[in-house]
A and B are shown apart, each in its own frame.
Chain A
Amino acid sequence: AQKVTQAQTEISVVEKEDVTLDCVYETRDTTYYLFWYKQPPSGELVFLIRRNSFDEQNEISGRYSWNFQKSTSSFNFTITASQVVDSAVYFCARSTGSARQLTFGSGTQLTVLP
């Protein structure tokens, strides 16, 4: 199976620190999509970003930024000046261009301490 690996199971930071969540994926496809979702304690998976395999531009949205490196099959997520409300489990996922299957990583539990 083509896996998505989030090696960091848990991360704890103090408020206002920057934090990077790592994601490495396997794929044999040339066309695929990468996603990040946030799961707060309420349980709902909140969509954060989607990138396709042809677009390696990094993206910034407020305090969030994403670094897509096709050469290393990585799609890392950085939160700048973290806040307590950022505490959640973050999931990286991959889908192929022609399938509905999302393969998720096992998630990274981020705790931001006040």
Chain B
Amino acid sequence: DIQMTQSPSSLSASVGDRVTITCRASQGISNYLAWFQQKPGKAPKSLIYAASSLQSGVPSKFSGSGSGTDFTLTISSLQPEDFATYYCQQYNSYPHTFGPGTKVDIK
């Protein structure tokens, strides 16, 4: 199975900050990577697929990049509604494994 890691596991940031989360796969997955946002008590929301393509309706402050084993999710200007946990997931091969998550909270 492909193992996914994320760093940091948590971070504190202020409104307006630029935030970058890293996701690493244990082996190459081309660009078959998705990002999700989850707020407490809520279902996850799909943000990005194919490493850098925004899901419909997702604001352009979110961006993704990377290929192979190393990927990043960037939030250009953090807003109060962006405080949440973010997960990456590879869908290159089965099982479609998730990263452990990165919790973004308010500094």
Note whether A and B form a binding pair.
no
Q: Which residues of A contact B (CB under 8 A)?
A: none
